Amino acid sequence: MPFINNSFNFITSRYTFEHLKTPEITLGEIYRVLKPGGTFVMQTTNKKNPLILFSRLIPFRIKKALFRKVFKNVPLGTFKTRYEINTPATIKAKSGSLRLQELILIEDLLCQTRFLYFASLILFKIIKKFQLNSFKNNIITIYRKPEN
């Protein structure tokens, strides 16, 4: 990142880390540019979620073709997913020098199409009824850079 060390008090990332080949390098850069005591908040997908698991089984080339058909064009920001840091365990293992303060699993409904909405609604109800929290589809983390 083209920023000097200790530049920012707060950094956020939404739906980026599932695309990174080497998320540890990015976390190291975030650590470098965060001021001591600074906060980094990340939201990413949980690869344990059944809808995400199903999506991972579809080759990227086919996914892009499906996106074209469903959305009439490929949405901007359609990138290959790698899921290198997309479970609570891998997030904890790859935090590096950042201190993981909180990890929250959340569920949200997909609203891109009627099919995705109903599929995610059914899954949401199953997860809630049987308390299958580890299968929620999103992870939010809050990291802090130590004061020194």
Condensed to tens digits (0 to 9), the pLDDT of residues 91-129 reads: 999 999 999 999 999 998 988 788 889 999 999 999 999
Are 1 and 115 in contact, with CB atoms under 8 Å apart? no
6 — alpha (psi -120 to 50), left (phi > 0) or beta?
left
Domain boundaries, position 66: 8-108+138-144
Give the tens place of pLDDT for each residue, 58-89: 998 888 787 777 776 555 657 889 999 999 99
- 20, part of any domain: yes
Count of structural domains, the chain: 1
Return the CATH number at 78: 3.40.50.150
Query: Tokens 């609570």 correspond to what residue?
Result: 88
